[in-house]
Amino acid sequence: MADRFASRRNIDFLMNEVFEVASLNRFPYFADHDEETFKMVLDTAQKISEEMMFPFFKDMDVNPPYWENGKVHVHKAIVPYLKEMGEGGWIQAEKPYAVGGQQLPLTIKVLASFLFGAANYSMQVYPMLTGGAANLIYQFGSQEMKDTYLEKMYSGKWQGTMALTEPDVGSSLGDLTTIAEPTDQGYYLIKGQKIFISAGNSDVVDNVVHLMIARLKDGPAGVPGISLFVVPEYRINAKGDLEYNDVQCGGIEHKLGYRGSPICQLTMGEAKDCRGWLVGQEGKGLAQMFKMMNEERINVGIGAISKISGAYYAALEYAQQRKQGRKPDQKDPATPMVELIEHADIKRMLLLQKSVMEGALALGIQLSVYQDLITVGENVEENEMLVDFLIPILKTYPSEMGILATSAAIQIHGGYGFCGDFPVEQYYRDIRIDPIHEGTTGIQGQDILGRKVSMKQGKAFELYIQEIEKTMIEAKTFAELEKQVSSLESAIGLMKDVTAELLAKKSKISNEAFLADAVLYLEFMSQIAIAWQWLKLMTVSIKSLKEPATDRDQAFYQGKIFAGRYFFDYELIKIHSLAIRLLSDDKVTVEITREYFED
């Protein structure tokens, strides 16, 4: 096993030099914190990652949860971890003091989550899901509901989930069939099935609280009939004790990766006594649930970046130690073999991993800064639009590119990478779920092309361009970045032209034809978003190199510049072929019919 899964130096670079997170302390909400506070938080996160999480990375994979007699049994290492998460206040760290939070910037929590995910993503999802479910209760629940659930969930004693998917209804949530029947007792009777519910049952918590969407009995069809409910595995009776709430786990899925967290099948109401309590208003369930879903989409993106990081540092360590072959110009077999990292193609694969991971992580921190500004009421409308616009990119880019990046880590290891002796094959398996989780890549593509670029008459798109232009203005002061600034300027021009032409065609063609290549449009947009972040990272690195620095810092900043050069020269250039495809009127994927797939 590799002994490193993330770079604390890179985290500090993003926190202190690129995004200057301590500047958030000018706002009263964050005023109790400073750079030293943030360092202490991340020191603790690093210690938890190294001592409580990473040692069980492999063991939780080879000893996954198992189902027996209606109960899921999970790895016992999760018990002290959840205790630490609860007692340390990690689950609600960004929340106000009034609910037990620490009023910590979400940006710092995201950096800690990145560390946790790189160490052991399967372990991290337990408190992450609980935090998302608790947020829905915090935002939309009654005071009684908050008093009942939040303290137990924030303490890590009760697990939280989001329960959406059904056996015959995947992403098409408007077609769900789970029914909620009103009663005169203040609750609804829930009847139905849910599948693929992460952490939906376990023997290491006292209760599992499902934030579940269901259709009102005799309610309208489609989205207007969907409401959101709290459906606990155990409800609190009149005596204040827990009693079974007719929520049964009928089994768990056996998965390719991400094995440390159970994916559960749930049946509600077999005994006609599953009770659910309405969250917010009837008929608003899907809109409310999307608050959590968008939060989880960001978490999926950060989690994917974490896995790329773990695989990258394992591959880097192996490439620095393993000797194999000689340089192409060395023909004498008597000369000593060189380390893998001396070969250009190995360096290409390492640069792919590094540029994808570090560029995507910067984008994740960019979003979290926008979210922190929303929290303190700073340019709320603009920052909300930027977050909404960038969510499909942050969710998808590291998820999809992470498959290629972790595959490159396997390739660097050669045959050993394909075996279980090294961790890279597990990172590869673990990341494969991320393009599916919380809305497939196809859904994210339809979101950005079908909604986000035209959102509020295109204002979000304009704000996004303005943010990139701010970065370019600063970068233009450095002659060393002339090539990259020119490339990004050209990319923005192409982005404007392609988007305008696609939107102009929208009213002239079917919606199916318009959205047929939406995933390619998302890929096109993602390359530009990551290039924007790399220009920012390169600018800060060049500024730092102009100041006295240690040899180690010099190497660090030069490494950033090389990775940025790689991204612009190897990745950003792909937008040109994507633009040709996007502007083509040939819609082969629409025109082909099912019989032509038959042999």
Q: What residues in the chain have per-residue pLDDT under 70?
A: 1-3, 170-174
Same domain, 492 and 593: yes
Q: Is residue 564 part of a domain?
A: yes
Cβ proximity of 247 and 274 under 8 Å: yes
Q: Which domain holds residue 170?
A: 158-283
Query: Which of 105, 137, 152 is the C-terminal boundary of a domain?
Result: 152
- Three-state SS sequence of 238-288: CCCCEEECCEEEEEECCCCCCCCCCEEEEEECCCCCCEEEECCCCCCHHHH
Could you tell me the sign of the dihedral formed by the alpha carbons of 17, 18, 24, 30, in that order? Answer: negative
Q: How many structural domains is the chain composed of?
A: 3
Residues 106 and 168 in one domain: no
Q: What is the DSSP letter of 27?
A: S
Let me know whether 534 and 589 are in one domain: yes
User: Reduced to 3 states, what is the DSSP secondary structure of residue 159?
Assistant: strand
CATH (domain of 165): 2.40.110.20
CATH number reported for the structural domain that contains residue 65 in this entry: 1.10.540.10
SS3 of 400-457: HHHHHHHHHHHHHHHHHHHCCCCCHHHHHHHHCCCCCCCCCHHHHHHHHHHCHHHCCC
Predicted confidence at residue 176, as pLDDT, reads 83
| Domain assignment present for 323 | no
* DSSP one-letter string for 342-390: GSHHHHHHHHHHHHHHHHHHHHHHHHHHHHHHHHTTSSHHHHHHHHHHH
Backbone angles phi, psi at 166, to 5 degrees: -125, 160
The answer on 110 and 68 residing in a single domain is yes
Q: For residue 367, tell me if it sits in a domain.
A: no
Residues 112 and 245 in one domain: no
pLDDT at 221: 84
| 109 and 203 together in one domain | no
Tens of pLDDT, residues 45-58? 999 999 999 999 99
pLDDT at 198: 94
CB 582 within 8 A of CB 524: yes
Which residues are CB-contacts of 529 (< 8 A; sequence separation ≥ 6)?
A: 363, 390, 393, 397
Shared domain for 145 and 168, answered yes or no, is no
Statement to judge: residues 133 and 260 lie in one domain: no
Q: Has residue 308 been placed in a domain?
A: no
pLDDT for the residue 290? 83
In a domain, 379, yes or no: no
Q: What are phi and psi of 534, to 5 degrees?
A: -70, -35
Q: Do residues 276 and 286 make contact, with C-beta atoms less than 8 angstroms apart? A: no
> Which amino acid makes up residue 204?
V
Contact 233, 261 (CB under 8 A): no
Q: How many helices (H) and strands (E) does the chain have?
A: 18, 12
The verdict on residue 121 lying in a domain is: yes
The pTM of this model reads 0.95
Could you give phi then psi for residue 181, rounded to 5 degrees? -105, 120
How many angstroms separate the Cα of 113 from the Cα of each of 46, 120, 301, 353, 398? 10, 10, 11, 20, 15
Query: How far, in Å, CA of 228 to CA of 398, rounded?
Result: 30
Residues 20 and 75 in one domain: yes
Cα separation, 75 vs 257, whole angstroms: 15
**How far apart are the C-alpha atoms of 80 and 86, rounded to whole Å?**
10
Please choose, from the candidates 225, 211, 227, the residue with its C-alpha nearest in 3D space to the C-alpha of residue 158: 211
pLDDT, tens digit (0-9, with 9 covering 90-100), for 553-588? 999 999 999 999 999 999 999 999 999 999 999 999
Question: Catalytic annotation on 296?
Answer: no
Question: 440, 591, 447: which is closest to 510 by C-alpha?
Answer: 591
- Partnered with residue 189 across adjacent β-strands are 181, 275
> Has residue 345 been placed in a domain?
no
Q: What is the mean pLDDT of the chain?
A: 95
For the chain, the residue count is 599
Is 434 within the bounds of a domain? no
Are 147 and 162 in a shared domain? no
Judge if 146 and 162 occupy the same domain.
no
Long-range Cβ pairs for the range 463-471 (8 Å, 24+): 463/382, 463/385, 463/386, 463/389, 464/386, 464/389, 464/390, 465/492, 465/495, 465/496, 467/386, 467/532, 468/492, 468/528, 468/532, 471/532, 471/535, 471/536, 471/539
Final residue of a structural domain among 258, 283, 308: 283
Does one domain contain both 453 and 563?
yes
Q: Which of 254, 283, 312 is the last residue of a domain?
A: 283
Which of 233, 358, 400, 438 is an active site residue? 438
